[in-house]
């Protein structure tokens, strides 16, 4: 394998791709909401993958300080205690409303999460996937985001190697097998079940890109003396220290699920007017119109538990 110096360059080029108009509009609205505290806004997820503005666009807004981002001390404290805070954002346009789900996180917490220093795999599992930096404050902010997302890709590949079948100290696999196993495991670690077709679609949306970043991380592991990698016609043969291969650490699932549940419950309080949003999401998923009573709308935590439980089960406020 060659040198692994290109991984940060791959990530930087990916982040700097032009953003769709809908993403730019929503990013501008988020910047107005959080003001000078915003270091960057990152567009990711299914709407980016599918090149559509239909549905809800996913953003992470990275801030330098929670107290600067919020007028409310309670929101700042909640964000620091259990990041991120998640909010719903709508931006009117002549063609109809654009919708976004905005997660707010400090640069420090984002770097820790994407580097694997959190119980929840969702941070690095989201950002080992393609993203666009719709806005960065300056070059230093961009480098901060590049470093964090490069860390997410490294974390993902190393965790993926731990999921592979090992025989006589070696693992043989292709890019699709590693990424699919990784995404399946991270979904299982969260409060969210997805079909094999959905899991595979994450890789299949950009197979060449995933092979490219996998090559770069494996090259880094070779350069660091942590693995020996041989390219095969149909993939790779990797030998490495036992701590790198064949250690899925599925015991992490319990902690991840508990942290995810706490995050969901917190989001129900911080999200804002989440009931119309949750109903809209459920109707899109199920095809069934859901009508709350006036009492349920006014006091959702007292009377709307059947709907709340369905929201939590589908993890719509993640």
User: Does any domain span residue 2?
Assistant: no
Rounded average pLDDT over 119-130: 86
Q: What is the CATH number of the domain that holds 71?
A: 3.30.460.10
Q: Is the pLDDT of residue 36 over 80?
A: yes
Domain of residue 250, residue span: 7-272
Range of lowest pLDDT (16-30, 154-168, 210-224, 278-292): 278-292
pLDDT score recorded for residue 185: 86
Number of domains within the chain: 2
Burial per residue of 107-134, b for 16 or more beta-carbon CB atoms within 10 angstroms, e otherwise: bebbbbbbbbebbbbbbbbbbbbbbbbb
Dist. CA 133–CA 38, nearest whole Å: 12
* pLDDT one-digit tens code per residue, 169-217: 899 999 999 999 999 888 877 655 567 888 899 999 999 999 999 999 9
Kindly report the average pLDDT of the chain as a whole number.
Answer: 84
Higher pLDDT, 88 or 139: 139
- Residue 257 and residue 309 in one domain: no
Predicted TM-score (pTM) of this structure? 0.81
Query: 216 or 241, which is more confident?
Result: 216
Considering the domain architecture, whether residues 171 and 318 belong to the same structural domain is answered as: no
pLDDT at 248: 58
Higher pLDDT residue, 266 or 245? 245
C-beta atoms surrounding 166 within 10 Å = 18
Is 20 in the same domain as 65?
yes
Q: What are phi and psi of 105, to 5 degrees?
A: -150, 145
Task: Return the ∠ at Cα 24 (arms to 31 and 130), rounded to 5°.
Answer: 100
> What angle do the packed helices 175-189 and 139-161 form, to 10 degrees?
100
The candidate with the shortest Cα–Cα distance to 184, out of 264, 248, 230, 141, is: 248
Model confidence at 76: pLDDT above 90? yes
Residues 223 and 305 grouped into a single domain: no
Same-domain check for residues 192 and 297? no
Average pLDDT estimate for 281-301: 62
**51 part of a folded domain:** yes
Is 1 within the bounds of a domain?
Answer: no
Residues 143 and 250 grouped into a single domain: yes
List pLDDT tens digits, range 136-156.
999 999 999 999 999 999 999
Same domain (yes/no): 157, 302: no
- How high is the pLDDT of residue 191? 57
Q: Do 245 and 288 sit in the same domain of this protein? A: no
Same-domain status, 195 and 297: no
The pLDDT of residue 317 is above 70: no
């Amino acid at each position: 394998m060659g040198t692994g110096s290109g991984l940060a360059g791959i990530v930087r080029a990916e982040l700097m791709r032009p953003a769709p108009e809908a993403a730019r509009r929503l990013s501008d609205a988020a910047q107005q909401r959080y003001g000078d505290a915003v270091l960057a806004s990152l567009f990711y997820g299914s709407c980016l993958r599918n090149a559509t503005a239909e549905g809800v666009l996913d953003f992470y807004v990275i801030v330098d300080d929670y107290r600067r981002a919020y007028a409310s001390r309670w929101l700042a404290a909640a964000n620091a205690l259990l990041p991120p805070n998640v909010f719903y954002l709508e931006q009117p346009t002549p063609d109809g409303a654009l919708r976004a789900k905005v997660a707010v996180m400090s640069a420090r917490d984002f770097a820790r999460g994407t580097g694997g220093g959190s119980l929840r795999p969702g941070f690095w599992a989201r950002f080992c996937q393609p993203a666009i930096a719709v806005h960065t404050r300056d070059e230093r902010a961009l480098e901060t985001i590049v470093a964090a997302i490069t860390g997410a890709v490294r974390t993902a590949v190393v965790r993926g190697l731990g999921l592979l079948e090992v025989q006589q100290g070696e693992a043989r696999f292709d890019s699709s097998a590693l990424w699919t196993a990784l995404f399946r495991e991270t979904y299982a670690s969260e409060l969210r079940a997805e079909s094999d077709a959905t899991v595979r679609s994450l890789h299949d949306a950009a197979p060449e890109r995933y092979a490219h970043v996998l090559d770069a991380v494996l090259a880094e592991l070779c350069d660091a003396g942590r693995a020996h990698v041989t390219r095969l016609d149909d993939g790779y043969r990797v030998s490495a220290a036992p701590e790198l291969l064949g250690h899925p650490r599925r015991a992490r699932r319990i902690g991840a699920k508990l942290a995810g549940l706490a995050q969901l419950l917190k989001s129900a309080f911080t999200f804002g007017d989440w009931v119309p949003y949750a109903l809209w999401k459920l109707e899109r998923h199920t095809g069934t119109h859901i009508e709350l009573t006036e009492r349920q709308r006014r006091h959702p935590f007292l009377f709307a538990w059947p709907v709340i439980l369905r929201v939590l089960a589908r993890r719509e406020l993640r």
